[in-house]
Amino acid sequence: MAFTTINVERVEDGIVLVTLTREKEMNTLSLEFVEEFGQVLQGTSRDPAARVLILTGKGRAFCCGAELKYYTTARETIGPDPIAARNNYLRRVVRLFTEIETFDKPVIAAINGYALGGGAELALACDFRIMSESAKFGVPEIRLGAIPGAGGVQKLHRFVGRGRALELVMLGSHLTAEETDRYGLLYKRVPPERLMGEALELARRLAKMSPVALAYAKAAINLAMDVDITSANLYALDAMAVLASSEDQREGMRAFIEKREPRFPGFPTTGVR
């Protein structure tokens, strides 16, 4: 399928690379991108051969956030008033970020350049963040009289605590990779020339894991952020029971006994996921 805002390629067995290609627009969050990336998530979820997704940007930016035209210009699908912008644009962006967070396969953000505003929130929706040392990260919406309302407020509070979240949101600073790493928001920071190599190495490690166990692990961690400990424990127990009946766990046990690398089959290609 041909896309207008992204490029999608299978770079290695099990690894899908999605590159934002609106270089002149600094890879801002157009409605076309929201629609197209949603299609990629749906297709990748249904593809048993696709086990890890890497997201990066072309040019100087990973993603520089929202397109302000959706707030100020009447268009065919967007009205000029704030309520229309909220309902027809922002809610669709938030829905996409939620789809990434709950996606049943690992998603790696390879932050090649500016990740600002909604771009930072897009990166925060991913499971892992690897950042080029020449990139910048931040939520500068406060400078426009706004807040990072597409998940940034909530995620930053959970990731870095109230004090740090207040600092990031209320000062709207652009952080270096070193600063972003110090805040605990990165898996790794690397020189620009090593960014994709490191992202691919992480993807290869994840692609060797059980897809079924990865999906349940991600779901269990997400749930634990929102519910009481008793409910989180019950979900984890149920997940362990489901995994115990999976072919992936049987293969893992066989491989352990036979002292070899497991070859996890993943989710069945038919039936209910």
Q: Among residues 36, 67, 121, 198, which one is catalytic?
A: 121
Contact, 129 vs 109, CB < 8 A?
A: yes
- Residue 68, pLDDT above cutoff 80: no
Q: Among residues 36, 76, 133, 141, which one is catalytic?
A: 141
Tens digits of residue pLDDT in 89-135: 888 999 999 999 999 999 999 999 999 999 999 999 999 999 999 99
| CA gap 90, 10 in Å, rounded | 30
Residue 251 a catalytic site member: no
Q: What domains are there in the chain, each with its CATH number?
A: 6-207 (3.90.226.10), 211-258 (1.10.12.10)
What strands lie across the sheet with 114-116, from one edge to the other?
Answer: 61-63, 114-116, 136-138, 175-176
Q: Identify the pLDDT of residue 138.
A: 96
Q: What is the pTM of this model?
A: 0.91
Q: Identify the pLDDT of residue 74.
A: 44
Q: What's the mean pLDDT when you consider all of the chain?
A: 91
pLDDT band at residue 152 under the 50/70/90 scheme = confident
Count the residues in the chain: 273
Helix-, strand-, coil-residue percentages of the chain, each rounded to 5 = 50, 15, 30
Residue 178 a catalytic site member: no
Q: What angle do CA 199, 203, 205 make, to 5 degrees?
A: 120
